[in-house]
């Protein structure tokens, strides 16, 4: 799923840096730094979750450059820390991955597609469910975690595919043959992993989930 420097036009990759910078500034401004700095336990949780995602993002299965899959797991990450810290964390994780891969020109585009986009989709679905649906544990786990993770990963796959076709990096026929048939096999495990992790956190460490409260969902 990760792009390399040679796959997309240089001007498009440069424009992605501008968008990434604007979103990053907004995330830094909106982040709850006072709460984050006041809770030392939150530092360790954030660091541990970020390291776990870094290790997941390091391993990718695919047959061609950018036509691969790896677990994103950003939905539960977003449920744990919210949108702003989710964006900041995903950006730092992608920077760490880029240190290994060396594709610095494509860093911003990768951060947008594999970090900021799924984080934003995940938080948007959570906000919709919180505002317009009953505050029920089943809705939180199934919709905000399981289905949400599938939707967020699907949005990343769709955006990547559109980008590759529009820039004529790959043809639609090539994607239909080498990429799209495997997407369902990837999306369901992605949802299952996020759903099971969220359920485990609710049972063991509900205080690690910023978007969850026993008083709201178990009253």
**pLDDT tens column, 136-192:** 999 999 999 999 999 999 999 999 999 999 999 999 999 999 899 999 999 999 999
**pLDDT tens column, 9-35:** 999 999 999 999 999 999 999 999 998
- Give the right CATH number for 10-217 from 1.10.1760.20, 3.40.50.720, 1.10.760.10, 3.10.310.30: 1.10.1760.20
Strands 67-69 and 61-64: antiparallel
| Composition of the chain by helix, strand, coil, percent to 5 | 75, 5, 20
Task: Please state, in angstroms and rounded to a whole number, the distance separating the CA atoms of residues 14 and 38.
Answer: 37
pTM, two decimals, is 0.95
User: To the nearest 10°, the Cα dihedral for 62, 66, 71, 76?
Assistant: -170
**pLDDT tens column, 85-142:** 999 999 999 999 999 988 899 999 999 999 999 999 999 999 999 999 999 999 999 9
């Amino acid at each position: 799923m990760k792009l390399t420097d040679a796959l997309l036009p240089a001007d498009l990759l440069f424009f992605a840096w501008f968008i990434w910078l604007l979103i990053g500034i907004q995330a830094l401004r909106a982040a709850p730094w006072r709460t984050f700095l006041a809770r030392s336990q939150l530092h360790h949780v954030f660091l541990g979750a970020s390291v776990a995602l870094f290790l997941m993002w390091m391993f990718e299965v695919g047959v061609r450059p950018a036509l691969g899959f790896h677990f994103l797991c950003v939905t539960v990450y977003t449920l744990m820390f919210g949108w702003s810290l989710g964006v900041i964390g995903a950006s730092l994780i992608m920077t760490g991955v880029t240190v290994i891969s060396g594709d610095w020109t494509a860093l911003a585009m990768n951060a947008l597609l594999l970090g900021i986009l799924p984080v934003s989709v995940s938080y948007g679905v959570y906000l919709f469910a919180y505002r317009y649906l009953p505050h029920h544990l089943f809705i939180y786990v199934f919709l905000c975690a399981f289905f949400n993770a599938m939707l967020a990963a699907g949005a990343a796959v769709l955006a990547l595919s559109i980008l590759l076709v529009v820039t004529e990096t790959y043809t639609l026929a090539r994607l239909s043959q080498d990429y799209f048939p495997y997407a369902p096999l990837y999306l369901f495990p992605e949802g299952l992993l996020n759903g099971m992790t969220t359920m485990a956190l609710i049972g063991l460490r509900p205080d690690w989930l910023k978007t969850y409260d026993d008083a709201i969902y178990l009253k």
